[in-house]
């Protein structure tokens, strides 16, 4: 079986809202449906049967077990389009793109949508675990006496629902607390973090101003731009914020240089060249390759969010590329310090030798090529929606430039990382 | 000459209903007023639209369901029927049928001009019936039309009522069963503003001669549209005839069948099978 080239035809997302903001009434299914319908309208896909739709949400209600399929059934796509859910924490969106791209490459399908949605405003509250067990016991009771006995165990304190926590199950530490440890290890300064944050806001605002997102973002529920975006952000203003993660002198991570909880959804349309030609659509970029990695953060061997450099090293080797062979770097800003830790680690000879097994360090990148149209610190980060946002943004950047190559890197909970390479199409490269 | 009432904002429907109820017994006449009620520059409140979407089963998006525009013209309809020149009492009137033509999808960011008039007064075997015509425009473009046929029970007008015709059977098949909660009328009232007492509580419904609370006809229509809306083209006409009030709480069965883009819709009682509503969707040619 021969492999085919895979193309990013386009993308769509809704502006990202701050948690408890404009999307309080929207569910993941609503947002995914809206994003799919936006793509359907933009690319004339009404009633079309696509190869598949892969998407997911990190925080999901039990009733959303078939979230993506339900969104497809509520959309203007053909109801005969299959769909499935994927969950790889913040790597979800990019992982779905890799999955769909692989199937297209193998010739199993010709087209597909990949993406994700997340909301912290419509998050599931679970029954207190003890109460849930009591109710299950009562449910399975055979006699009324057994049932009464089971129900008699309910205590008022069990009526408080369990809220989903942004914490690692195995360490009990929040992502920010984990990141604070790594930030300190790599000696990342507060100033460097705030500077990266300001760049993210300024770059995203400038991209909106020049209309870059006009065909990538569909307004939703009264939002036309990301709610978290602060075009007037400055290092001076950010310097006034108190650290929220880490303790004492070395604490550098604030609410400003960390991504806020947010709501939103994104999708990208991928296809073979033949499918794009048949539909008279111009591909934005070629989806070259992807790689995932994971590290043992549980016992402190590696930082929770330090997996991406491992994936980057393997991906570069497989594609015979160096870290400097790129025109754009899209490194997801979970926290400003995450990006800076990755960059520091990839420049560090010791880290690259002992951890990545490389003779030479991956080296430094040209910082003017990093997140040039802003990233998660400014846009917000609805976990599963970030991959689709970045793939669509980078694909359009490559199409605008008409040549070159871009690297995507996304860190994820559970000590994971998902990375990918996109390239300008051969027509663009001519 | 046509008289025009221009509303500057959405009227408080509770007050208009109260006025209509109080003046109902004094009303007389056999002709419709040459009256138009308009409201210009209407902006859609996205939060209110989202709440409507949730009660009726539409996905929460920036697109405006065809039936939501009916919610926006409904206060204009009530204002017209509460006008002093209107010959029949509003309270006790029955919504028999509703036809909506969507010329194109309306986006929630658009500004609308709405107008309502009444025409086509004719006899019905249980009284008199007339059509309230609603229109929505974006600038000069007519984007949406609504024809709501109302029965005014016991009212007399000249002429002979059209003979009763046999209803078609609702589409067959297992369809989908929708359990309807007892508070559905209150929930739809909250998102539509239609606080007619027959939809609010068993006691107030009984006071108007119903065995218990009945659900709004336009909720029924909205829910039926929501079940097929994403399969429809941009421009279509949907008609729903309301055959028998839906008492709540209850379970209803929705069935649909499509041939060459045309849809037949049915809503029956899930237990007894009695027909609540029959509908059709015809794409614009």
- Please give the DSSP secondary-structure letter assigned to residue A63: G
Contacts with B230 from chain A: Cβ below 8 Å: 37, 74-76
pLDDT at B68: 98
Interface of A with B in 38-97 (CB under 8 A): 46, 74-76, 79
- Would residue B114 count as lying in a domain? yes
| Beta partners for residue B252, in sequence order | B178, B269
- Would residue B242 count as lying in a domain? yes
Under 8 Å between Cβ of B238 and B66: yes
Q: What angle do CA A200, A364, A8 make, to 5 degrees?
A: 60
For residue B241, what is the domain's CATH number? 3.10.129.10
SS3 for A245-277 is ECCCCCCCEECCCECCCEEEEEEEEEECHHHHH
Q: Which DSSP helix (H) or strand (E) runs through A54?
A: strand A52-55
Q: For chain B, how far is it from start to end, CA to CA, in angstroms?
A: 35
Which of A34, A74, A221 is the closest to B46 by Cβ? A221
pLDDT at B163: 87
- Would residue B135 count as lying in a domain? yes
Contacts with A13 from chain B: Cβ below 8 Å: none
pLDDT at A1: 61
Tell me how far apart the 2 most distant CA atoms of chain A are, in Å.
Answer: 80
| Beta partners for residue B3, in sequence order | B35
- Would residue B228 count as lying in a domain? yes
- Give the C-alpha separation, B196 to B185, whole Å: 9
- Give the C-alpha separation, A338 to A328, whole Å: 18
pLDDT exceeds 80 at position A429: no
Q: Catalytic residue at A201?
A: no
Domains and CATH numbers, chain A: 175-211+287-425 (3.40.47.10)
Residue A412, both tokens: 């994820």
Chain B touched by A219 (CB under 8 Å) = yes
Q: B61 vs A222: CB contact, 8 Å cut-off?
A: no
- Report which of B277, B280, B171 is spatially closest to residue B236, judged by C-alpha positions: B280
pLDDT at B227: 96
Chosen for mutation from B44, B60, B234 (greatest number of chain A CBs closer than 10 Å) is B60
- Would residue B161 count as lying in a domain? no
Q: B60 vs A221: CB contact, 8 Å cut-off?
A: yes
Find tokens 């027959």 and name the residue: B198
- Report which of A274, A313, A309 is spatially closest to residue A295, judged by C-alpha positions: A309
pLDDT at B90: 85
- Give the C-alpha separation, A120 to A105, whole Å: 35
- pLDDT by residue for chain B (285 residues), tens digit each? 899 999 998 888 888 888 887 887 788 888 899 999 999 999 999 889 999 999 999 999 989 999 999 999 999 999 999 999 999 988 778 999 999 999 999 999 999 999 999 999 999 999 999 999 999 999 999 999 999 999 998 898 888 888 888 999 999 988 999 999 999 999 999 999 998 889 999 999 999 889 999 999 999 999 999 999 999 999 999 999 999 999 999 999 999 999 999 999 999 999 999 999 999 999 998
Distance from CA of B164 to the nearest CA of A (A): 38
In chain B, the number of structural domains is 1
How far from chain centre, in Å, is Cα B181?
A: 20
Q: Residue B91 sits in which domain range?
A: 3-153+170-283
- Which are the contacts of A374, defined by CB distance < 8 A and separation ≥ 6? A200, A201, A202, A203, A204, A205, A207, A229
Mean pLDDT confidence for A199-209: 98
- Give the C-alpha separation, B128 to B121, whole Å: 7
Q: What backbone phi and psi angles, to 5 degrees, belong to A271?
A: -160, 170
pLDDT at B91: 78
Question: Over chain A, what is the mean pLDDT?
Answer: 94
In chain B, whose CA is at the least distance from the CA of A222? B46
pLDDT at B75: 94
pLDDT exceeds 90 at position A162: no
Q: A30 vs B60: CB contact, 8 Å cut-off?
A: yes
Segment among A2-11, A51-60, B28-37 with least mean pLDDT: B28-37
How do residues A133-144 score in pLDDT, each as one tens digit? 888 888 888 888
- Would residue B184 count as lying in a domain? yes
Residue B22, both tokens: 């109080």
Residue A412, classed as helix, strand or coil, is: strand
- Would residue B163 count as lying in a domain? no
- Sorting pLDDT into bands at 50, 70 and 90, what band is A428? low
Contacts with B50 from chain A: Cβ below 8 Å: 25-26, 221
- Report which of B151, B10, B146 is spatially closest to residue B78, judged by C-alpha positions: B10
Interface of A with B in 240-269 (CB under 8 A): none
ipTM above 0.85, yes or no: no
- Which are the contacts of A118, defined by CB distance < 8 A and separation ≥ 6? A28, A57, A58, A59, A262, A263, A264, A265, A382, A383, A384, A385
- Which are the contacts of A296, defined by CB distance < 8 A and separation ≥ 6? A302, A415
pLDDT at A331: 98
pLDDT exceeds 80 at position A26: yes
Chosen for mutation from A13, A26, A68, A117 (greatest number of chain B CBs closer than 10 Å) is A26
Q: Catalytic residue at A381?
A: yes
Within 10 angstroms of residue A370's Cβ, the number of other Cβ atoms is 19
Find tokens 């097994």 and name the residue: A357
Strands B94-102 and A83-85: unpaired
How do residues A163-198 score in pLDDT, each as one tens digit? 666 788 888 899 999 999 999 999 999 999 999 999
How do residues A67-107 score in pLDDT, each as one tens digit? 999 999 999 999 999 999 999 999 999 999 999 999 999 99
DSSP secondary structure, chain B, as one string: --EEEEESS---HHHHHHHHHHHGGG---SS---EEEEEEEEPP-HHHHHHHHHHHT---SSEEPHHHHHHHHHHHHHHHHHSTT--S-STT-EEEEEEEEESSPEETTS-EEEEEEEEEEEEETTEEEEEEEEEEEETTEEEEEEEEEEEEET---SS-PPPP-PPPPPP-S--EEEEE-TTHHHHHHHHH----GGGT-HHHHHHTT-SS-B--HHHHHHHHHHHHGGGS-SSEEEEEEE-S--BSSEEEEEEEEEETTEEEEEEEETTT--EEEEEEEEE--
Distances (CA, A) of A211 to A228, A396, B220: 18, 12, 42
- Would residue B160 count as lying in a domain? no
DSSP secondary structure, A284-318, as one string: -EEEEEEEEEE--TTTTSS-TT--HHHHHHHHHHH
Q: For chain A, how far is it from start to end, CA to CA, in angstroms?
A: 28
């Amino acid at each position: 079986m021969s492999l085919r080239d895979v193309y990013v035809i386009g993308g769509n997302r809704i502006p990202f809202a701050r948690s408890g903001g404009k999307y309080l009434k929207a569910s993941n299914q609503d947002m995914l449906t809206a994003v799919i319908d936006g793509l359907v309208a933009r690319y004339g896909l009404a009633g079309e049967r696509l190869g598949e739709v892969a998407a997911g949400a990190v925080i999901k209600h039990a009733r959303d077990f078939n979230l993506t399929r339900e969104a497809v059934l509520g959309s203007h796509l053909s109801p005969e389009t299959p769909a499935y859910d994927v969950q790889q924490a913040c790597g979800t969106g990019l992982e779905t793109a890799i999955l769909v791209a692989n199937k297209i490459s193998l010739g199993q399908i010709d087209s597909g949508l990949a993406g994700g949605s997340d909301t912290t405003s419509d998050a599931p509250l679970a029954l207190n675990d003890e109460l849930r067990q009591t109710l299950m016991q009562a449910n399975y009771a055979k006699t009324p006496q057994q049932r009464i006995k089971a129900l008699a165990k309910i205590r008022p304190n069990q009526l408080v629902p369990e809220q989903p926590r942004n914490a690692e199950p195995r360490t009990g530490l929040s992502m920010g607390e984990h990141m604070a440890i790594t930030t300190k290890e790599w000696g990342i300064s507060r100033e460097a973090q705030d500077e990266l944050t300001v760049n993210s806001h300024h770059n995203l605002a400038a991209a909106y101003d020049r209309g870059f997102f006009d065909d990538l973002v569909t307004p939703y529920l009264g939002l036309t731009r990301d709610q978290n975006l602060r075009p007037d952000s400055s290092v001076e203003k950010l310097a006034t914020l108190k650290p929220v993660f880490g303790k004492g002198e070395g604490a550098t991570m604030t609410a400003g240089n960390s991504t806020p909880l947010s709501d939103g959804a994104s999708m990208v349309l991928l296809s073979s060249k033949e499918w794009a030609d048949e539909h008279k659509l111009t591909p934005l970029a070629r989806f070259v390759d992807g790689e995932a990695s994971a590290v043992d953060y549980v016992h402190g061997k590696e930082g929770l969010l330090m997996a991406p450099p491992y994936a980057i090293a393997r991906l570069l080797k497989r594609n015979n590329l160096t870290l400097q062979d790129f025109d754009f770097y899209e490194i997801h800003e979970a926290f400003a310090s995450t990006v800076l830790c990755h960059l520091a680690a990839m420049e560090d000879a010791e880290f690259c030798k002992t951890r990545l097994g490389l003779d030479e360090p991956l080296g430094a990148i040209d910082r003017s090529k990093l997140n040039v149209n802003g990233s998660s610190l400014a846009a917000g980060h609805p976990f599963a929606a970030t991959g689709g946002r970045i793939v669509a943004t980078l694909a359009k950047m490559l199409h605008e430039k008409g040549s070159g190559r871009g690297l995507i890197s996304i860190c994820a909970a559970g000590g994971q990382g998902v990375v990918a390479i996109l390239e300008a199409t051969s027509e663009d490269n001519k | 000459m046509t008289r025009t009432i221009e509303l500057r904002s959405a009227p408080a429907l509770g007050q208009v209903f109260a006025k209509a109820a109080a003046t109902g017994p004094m009303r007389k006449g056999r002709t419709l007023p040459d009256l138009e009620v308009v409201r210009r520059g209407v902006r859609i409140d996205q939060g209110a639209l989202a709440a409507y979407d949730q009660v009726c089963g539409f996905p929460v998006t920036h697109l405006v369901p065809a039936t939501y525009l009916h919610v926006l013209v409904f206060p204009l309809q009530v204002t017209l029927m509460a006008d002093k020149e209107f010959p029949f009492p509003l309270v006790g009137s029955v919504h028999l049928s509703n036809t909506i033509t969507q010329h194109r999808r309306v986006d929630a960011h658009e500004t609308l001009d709405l107008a309502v008039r009444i025409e086509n007064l004719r006899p019905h075997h249980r009284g008199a019936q007339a059509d309230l015509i609603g229109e929505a425009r974006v600038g000069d473009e007519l984007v949406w039309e609504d024809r709501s046929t109302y029965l005014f029970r016991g009212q007399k007008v000249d002429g002979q009522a059209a003979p009763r015709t046999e209803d078609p059977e609702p589409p067959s098949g297992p369809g989908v069963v929708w359990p309807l909660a007892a508070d559905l009328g209150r929930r739809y009232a909250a998102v539509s503003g239609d606080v007619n007492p027959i939809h609010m509580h068993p006691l107030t419904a009984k006071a108007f001669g119903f065995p218990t609370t009945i659900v709004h006809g336009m909720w029924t229509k909205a829910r039926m549209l929501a079940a097929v809306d994403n399969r429809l083209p941009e421009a279509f006409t949907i008609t729903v005839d309301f055959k028998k009030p839906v008492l709540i709480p209850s379970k209803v069965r929705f069935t649909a069948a499509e041939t060459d883009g045309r849809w037949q819709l049915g809503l029956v009682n899930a237990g007894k099978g009695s027909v609540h509503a029959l509908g059709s969707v015809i794409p614009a040619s």
